[in-house]
Chain A
Amino acid sequence: MAWFTRKSKNIKTSNEDKKEYRDGLWIKCNNCRQILYQAELTRNNHVCYKCNYHFRIPANKYIELLLDKGFKTQFEDITPRDPLKFKAQKKYKDQLEAAQKKTGIKDAIRVATGSINSIPAIVAVMDFSFIGGSMGSVVGEVISRSAEQARQEHRALIIVSASGGARMMEGAYSLMQMAKISAKLGQLSDAKIPFISVMTDPTTGGVTASFAMLGDINIAEPGALIGFAGPRVIKQTIGADLPEGFQRAEFLLEKGFLDLIVPREQMKIKLTELLGVLHGQTTYSA
């Protein structure tokens, strides 16, 4: 569990765990600092093969990891705007453009429909490399439509979160996405279609305080930072260092807010097992 202590130190000190997965021949692990062979790391689902540290990965990679071949991407035509004409040194519009160029997606989320080992599913994955995975109108709309489609087509809904929270540049619009998505999840729940929330590093703010915590089953990747307030804000408020492992997945499991911690390589098989019970073909009749 070397990654655990290392990451706790990161809370106090540096921006190191902000580093994202990058292409290249060799890469240094953010946690154990060992030099890793990129191809080997990729084969290992971008999990350090020396210390089990889970690198952040682009949304499309997570979709490939979970869905069977032949999935169909969805809602790619929904694009962000600058509804408030937000005043900032770097214009929000330019920021969006830069992020779109960098990631190849319109906003911080990708969705695909398909199946997970033959169980019908819709998978929505947030992308942290798009403005910190922040939730604005597009993320809200795309997840809402995903929930609606899951309900219409009786597909299990899986949302993989990676987000710093709501997107300030959309003001109250971004805040209200929390309510909008939660309402759609309420409808899905009433229709008795399962929703599984998968939290990856980091999942904080308005994302945690809405859909990420509302799974029929809440899962996290090992070591993921999960919380409402960010560690920096809490530190400022209380004026002291935070306890070791605070707001990590293992901490949340201990406190009762997660059902399971699942390493990335086992995510698909675990979802299959869980959905097999909640959304499988065989039914129990009394």
Chain B
Amino acid sequence: MTKTILEFEKPLIEIENEIQEMELLNTTGEKDLSSEIEKLRNKSHDMAIKINKKLSRWQRVELARHSDRPHSLDYIERIVTQWNELHGDRYFGDDHAIVAGIGHIGEFKAAIIGQQKGRSTKDNIYRNFGMASPEGFRKALRVMKMAEKFNIPVVSFVDTIGAFPGIEAEERGQAEAIARNLFEMSKLRVPILIIVIGEGASGGALGVGVGDRLLMLENTWFSVISPEGCASILYHDASKKELAAESMKVTALDLLEMGIADRIIEEPLGGAHRNYEKMAHIIKDVIIEELHKLIDKDKETLISERITKLENIGSWG
């Protein structure tokens, strides 16, 4: 499946190619290579673990935006049954950078929001590279308010490098749209699960990112600005993105330590892009498990716990 290979993935891919060749030989050839293959498999497994352990913050960022990484709809397809995407904000238009809809996840009915990136150039233009416009945030809010009305929980997949910085987005109130979502999501009277599946930058991520539980896949990042953005502003040099990622402490583990993320969701060895099915399966199980914890809470408790969690975030003396 992998088309793009990151630098640190190369040794792993080399072994895997070797295994493939041997397997081919094994079926056609006369020599039994099974034990050699088994050895190589173990080697590749150990190597994947070793690579994962040594990943720098920037390398996690690279994985989070890996061009083969599954996006919201890849998960929705695999997790949500009777999925119906719903369109439009009822004011201006339908933003393709955010998808919203309803369906079932396991035994739960759910409203699902997903920030959607493209894969091909054409698809990326259609999705505006996952950068939402005000209509996207307003569509998401409309669907969330409907979820509140019919008492169904909300699951929101975060994956964006930021809200779209363009003239039209400003004209239609990008700031107001994000602000309104923060305000409404903080007191929406149904459970909200936030799952960061790739990148999560700035108000663009937070605009669909306020909820009861913030879950992050292992190789994701979430911060106030992208490492490149931070580097170009603070260091006047966008190429110092690695330093910026280190400085801002952007990874899932960092966010867990900061008390912002509640849980890290483990990815298949080597990253989510190496096994869509397995990743989707893990996410589905986690959603069901987490919803069970939230679904029976009375509304006042749910909201007061949500706000208390936010109140405690920060560092001051």
Contact = CB atoms under 8 A, between A and B. Distances in A.
A180 to B, nearest CB: 4
Contact of A87 (B163, B224, B247, B307): B247
Contact of A209 (B175, B210, B311, B317): B175
A88 B247 contact: yes
Interface in B215-258: 222-225, 230, 233-235, 243, 246-250, 254-255, 258
Nearest to A206: B203
Nearest to A218: B176
B151 interface: no
B51 interface: no
Interface in B264-317: 306-307, 310-311, 313-317
A168 B169 CA distance: 23
Nearest to B201: A175
A83 B315 contact: yes
12 contacts: A137-B316, A138-B316, A140-B314, A169-B247, A171-B254, A172-B249, A172-B255, A208-B175, A209-B163, A209-B203, A228-B163, A229-B163
Interface in B176-208: 176, 178-180, 182-184, 186-187, 202-203, 206-207
B171 interface: yes
A182 B187 CA distance: 10
A213 B176 CA distance: 5
Contacts of A237: 165-166
Interface in A228-269: 228-229, 233-234, 237-238, 242-243, 246-247, 255-257
B167 A246 contact: yes
A206 B175 CA distance: 8
B160 to A, nearest CB: 13
B215 to A, nearest CB: 15
A206 B206 CA distance: 10
A274 B36 CA distance: 81
Contacts of B250: 171-172
Interface stretch (A9-17, A25-33, A74-82, A111-119): A74-82
Interface stretch (A51-59, A149-157, A183-191): A183-191
A212 B170 CA distance: 15
What secondary structure prevails in chain B residues at the interface with A?
helix
A285 to B, nearest CB: 29
Nearest to A182: B182
A178 B172 CA distance: 20
Interface string A41-56: 0000000000000000
A99 interface: no
Contact of B314 (A177, A242, A255): A177
B175 A212 contact: yes
A78 B170 contact: no
A84 B249 contact: yes
A146 interface: no
B224 A174 contact: yes
B115 interface: no
A172 B166 CA distance: 24
A179 B247 contact: no
Residue in A174, A205, A210 whose Cβ sees the most chain B Cβ within 10 Å = A210
Contacts of B183: 182-183, 185-186, 189, 214
Nearest to A145: B311
Contacts of A103: none
Contacts of B165: 228-229, 233-234, 237
A227 interface: yes
Contacts of A183: 182-183, 186-187, 210, 306-307, 310-311
B15 interface: no
Given A168-B225, A228-B163, A180 B314 contact: yes
Contacts of A214: 179-180, 183
Nearest to B230: A168
Return the 8 tightest CB-CB contacts between A and B, nearest first: A137-B314, A229-B165, A183-B186, A83-B315, A182-B182, A208-B175, A228-B175, A171-B248
B224 A166 contact: yes
Contacts of A238: 166-167
Given A88-B234, A175-B224, A246-B167, A182 B186 contact: yes
Nearest to A180: B310
Contact of B167 (A136, A187, A242): A242
B171 A78 contact: no
A73 interface: no
A177 B184 CA distance: 15
A190 B187 contact: yes
A37 interface: no
